Amino acid sequence: MQFFDAAQTARRLYYEALIPALRSGMTADAEVPPRQHYSLDAAQQATLLVMPAWNREFLGVKLVDVFPRNSERGLPALSSAYVLADGGTGQHLAVIDGGELTRRRTVGTAALGASLLSREDSRVHLIVGTGHIGSAVHDAYAAVRGGIESTLIADPYNPAGARELAGSLAERGVRATAVDDLRTAVGRADIITTCTLAREPVIRDEWIAPGTHLDLIGSFRPEMHEVDPSLLGRSTVFVDHEAALTEAGEIVTGFAESVLTREDIAATLPELCARTTPRTRGDDEITVFKTVGTGLADLIAAVTVYART
């Protein structure tokens, strides 16, 4: 059995390989049961998440241990591993660092959405959120939208984080700028990627200019909102998976407030990837791609790591 730590996982999941693999893998046959969620210790609020997926060739399970009180011990709250096996024999093949796998498949999925939905002439990319996920967003989008000339970085919750990320990108020659005035930055952006833990919207509906594409990564519970749900009511909305319709705050609240209906959801990512002709977008159309993460993307990424050896 092989073992891939975070650095080895990152090296194998470079976006020029991962994003095409996600695109073709989304349309292949696979079983992805709902994830299981076990409460381990109420006092510690400790949780175990088990996320299986399989196809004829491979069988995989992602294990995520969430121990929110670990910060009191100076340890990360999340620990994750992906276990990959042969789908024909069940023999275990690899254990892969789950944190890096999740990070890369998440921003890779968002960038895949942007490659299918945003304007090809997009020049300005705004990233909102600078944590584990936000710090990986730029590189994934550079692999699909080479025409981006300016990357704006915002983190209303942690402005110092925005300056730090913009600085580290600038050191690598990226034209990246930290911004405090989010409203102006939103108005300038052709593509917006959000990856925050916000419960109340950080981006307001009226700030969004016609022609903008948004990839919303952060919310995964009904009480979490990164944008006003009313924005989705006037946008063409895509999701990575049907689970987004019951998990993502912008969508759940949009349904509850009747600004959005089930018929407004244009397609899931597998449906988008199955199209043989590129989608034509209206000049003023606003598109939203909401992701909550799927076991299928984990499996595709794990196979990409394993197959590169």
Ligand X SMILES: NC(=O)c1ccc[n+]([C@@H]2O[C@H](COP(=O)([O-])OP(=O)(O)OC[C@H]3O[C@@H](n4cnc5c(N)ncnc54)[C@H](O)[C@@H]3O)[C@@H](O)[C@H]2O)c1
Asked whether position 70 contacts ligand X by CB under 6 A, the answer is no
State which residue, 30 or 93, has the beta carbon closest to ligand X: 30
Which of 9, 55, 102, 118 is in the footprint of ligand X by CB under 6 A? 102
Over the window 176 to 215, marking each residue x when it contacts ligand X by CB under 6 A and - when it does not, the resulting string is: -------------------xxxxx--x-------------
Interface segment toward ligand X; rule CB under 6 A; list 55-63, 143-151, 277-285, 287-295: 287-295
Asked whether position 80 contacts ligand X by CB under 6 A, the answer is no
State which residue, 57 or 242, has the beta carbon closest to ligand X: 242
Asked whether position 237 contacts ligand X by CB under 6 A, the answer is no
Asked whether position 230 contacts ligand X by CB under 6 A, the answer is no
Of residues 142-161, those binding ligand X (CB under 6 A)? 155-158, 161
State which residue, 93 or 203, has the beta carbon closest to ligand X: 203
Asked whether position 220 contacts ligand X by CB under 6 A, the answer is yes
Interface segment toward ligand X; rule CB under 6 A; list 17-25, 86-94, 132-140, 277-285: 132-140
Asked whether position 293 contacts ligand X by CB under 6 A, the answer is yes
Q: For residue 78, how many other CB atoms are within 10 A of its CB?
A: 16
Residues that bind ligand X (CB under 6 A): 102, 106, 129-134, 155-158, 161, 195-199, 202, 217-218, 220, 291-293
